[in-house]
Copies of this chain bind each other. A is one copy, B any other.
Amino acid sequence: MDFRHPEFDTITGQKPSEDCAVIGITGTVPVFSSLVLGLKSLQHRGQESAGISLYNGGKIKLIKGPGLVSEVFGPETELPEAFADSSVGIGHTRYSTKGSKSSQNAGPFALSGAAGYFSVSHNGEITNAEDLRRDLKRRGVAFVTNSDTEVLLAEIARDISQRGVEDGLRYAMSRLKGAYSLALLINERLFAVRDPHGFRPLVIGKTKESFMVASESCTFDVLGGELIRDVLPGEVIELTPRSYRSLFRITGSISHCMFEYVYFARPDSIIDSAEVFRTRIELGRILAREHPVDADVVIPVPDSGRAQSLGFSEESGIKYSEGLIKNRYSGRTFIMPTQEGRVNAIRLKLNPIKSAIEGKRVVLVDDSIVRGNTIKRIVSILRKQGAKEVHVRIGSPMIVAPCYYGVDMKTRKDFIARDRTAREICKEVGADSLEYLSIDGLIRGIGMPSERLCKACLTGVYPEPIPEMEKVVQRELETY
C-alpha cells in the first residue's frame, strides 16, 4: 500500500491530520450519497482508509478500503445493489497509528452474532483493549485483527446479546476505558455513543429527511442540514429517520481534547458549543497579550497557523500578511543525491514571499510544535530571505507527554519540548524569540472550565490510569 497524495507531507515533517472521523445517517430516503459527501467533509481527520456499512434486507453490507473517500467510493466503484436504496448506514475514515498500514484495520468494523448484525465507526482509542481482549478470549471470543475497535465491537455485541441493547451498552461502557465516539449500527437501528470523558467530539444534526451523527458539525453544513447539539459525554442517543432520543447518560469527569480546538477540527465546526475558528482567533489574541513583541508583520505557517495569526494581528495591531507560499504538489520527494538537496526541499513546500519578509521584523505564528523540524527550517529560510528578526509564537502550550486517546503522538523522544525550556527551543530553532501560549491562556481561549479539558499531553497527568502505558506498541495478530 502506498499513499502518495499531494497532501501527504513527507518532506517537512508537518503534522499530518491525525484522528479518525465517524458519521451515521438514518433517513426516509437512500443515504449512500450523503454518507460519501459527509465523509469527504471529514477527510481532514483521516486519509488512510474509508468505509461505509449499510443495513438493507435484513443484513449489513460493508465496503472499505485503503485510500481517500474519492478513491474507495470513486466513479468506478461497483456497489452492491443493497447499497443503492438503503436508508440507514454509517461511515468511517481513518488515520493509521504507527505500524499498522493494514487495510484490515480500516473502519467500519462489522460482525454478526446472536443479537443480529453490528457495525461500528470509532474515533478514539481504547486504553484497556488488551485486558478486554484477554478477558474476552477467556470467554470464548476470537479475534481476527489487532484493532482495539474489534475488541470494542466484540464487547458491545456480547453485552447486548446477553442484556439487550440499553443495558448491554451501559454495561459495555462500564468496561471500556479510554476514548470512543461511535456511530453504531445494530441491525437497522442507529446510535451515537460518546465516552463519559467526552475526549473526542460527536454531534447530532438533521436535514429535512434524515437525522445524523458526525464527528464535526461541518458535515451538516455540507449536507444542507443543521446542527442539533453535541452528544454529551457518556450519552447514548438513538437516531431515527424523523427524530432522536437520549437513551441514557453516564456522568463522570469530563475531559475534552484541547487539541481539537488547536489543530484537528475544521475551523468552521462547532464543538461542544464553541466555534473552532473563533476559538483559534481568541487563542491568537491571548498569545499576543501574553507574549507581545515589537514587529512589522505577523505571518502564519500555512495553513495551520492562519486563525491564530489573525487573532495575534488583531490584538497586537501588527499588520497581518501572507508570507509563505505552500506548494500543494510536492508529493513524495525523489531521492536527493546530496544533503544540499534535502535542505532545499523545505522550499519546495514553503517558499517565502520576498516583499513580505525582506527587511521586516516578522512574527511567525503556528498552532503547535511537535517535533520542531519544520519550524526550524522555516525560521532558517525567513532569515535567508532577509527577515530582520524572526519571532516565533505558538498558539498552544508545550507538548511533553504522549496521548493515549486517539492522537498519533506516542513516543516521548519525538517531542522537541521534552526536557527543554522555551528558551532552549528558541536557540535550537534559531529564532530571535520563541514563546508558547500558557496553559491558562489556552483554557481561557477555549472558554471552558479547566477541569473539563484533557491536558494530558501538556502535563503528563492523565484523566484516568493508562493500563497499558508504554506497552502501546505491543501488537496482536497482525492481518495484512
Contact = CB atoms under 8 A, between A and B. Distances in A.
A325 B112 contact: no
A168 interface: no
A5 interface: yes
Contacts of A332: 70, 74-75
A40 B329 contact: yes
Contact of A266 (B158, B325, B345): B325
A332 B223 CA distance: 17
A256 B314 CA distance: 38
Contact of A480 (B63, B154, B477): B63
Interface in A189-203: none
A353 B70 contact: no
A111 B393 CA distance: 50
Q: Considering residues A44, A277, A278, which has the most beta carbons from chain B within 10 angstroms of its beta carbon?
A: A277
Contacts of A322: 267, 277, 306-307, 310
A140 interface: yes
A353 B310 CA distance: 14
A476 interface: yes
Nearest to A330: B40
A180 to B, nearest CB: 18
Nearest to A319: B314
Given A141-B140, A329-B68, A354-B270, A341 B480 contact: no
Given A7-B6, A307-B322, A158 B144 contact: no
Contacts of A59: 475-478
Contact of A37 (B157, B270, B345): B345
Interface string A192-233: 000000000000000000000000001001111000000000
A60 interface: yes
A339 B209 CA distance: 15
Interface string A50-86: 0000000001111110001111011100101000000
Given A37-B348, A143-B113, A351-B221, A7 B329 contact: yes
A137 to B, nearest CB: 4
B37 A70 contact: no
A139 interface: yes
Interface string A332-360: 11111100110111011001111110000
Q: For the complex formed by this chain, how many copies does it contain in all?
A: 4
A158 B78 CA distance: 36
A328 B330 contact: no
A141 B331 CA distance: 40
Given A348-B222, A477-B117, A73 B334 contact: yes
B80 A275 contact: no
Contacts of A340: 224
A40 B36 CA distance: 31
Contacts of A428: none
Given A36-B334, A268-B354, A143 B111 contact: yes
Interface of A: 1, 4-7, 30, 33-34, 36-37, 40-41, 43-44, 47, 59-64, 68-71, 73-75, 78, 80, 109-114, 117-118, 137-144, 154, 157-158, 161, 218, 221-224, 266-268, 270, 275, 277-278, 281, 306-307, 310, 314, 319-322, 325, 327-337, 340-341, 343-345, 347-348, 351-356, 475-480
Rank and list the top 8 A-B pairs by shortest CB-CB distance, nearest first.
Answer: A70-B331, A43-B329, A113-B142, A111-B142, A278-B355, A112-B477, A224-B344, A114-B137
30 contacts: A4-B74, A7-B329, A37-B333, A37-B344, A40-B348, A43-B327, A59-B475, A62-B477, A62-B480, A68-B331, A69-B329, A70-B334, A74-B331, A74-B332, A74-B334, A75-B332, A75-B334, A110-B477, A111-B144, A111-B477, A112-B144, A117-B477, A142-B157, A222-B347, A224-B347, A266-B325, A267-B353, A268-B353, A307-B322, A314-B319
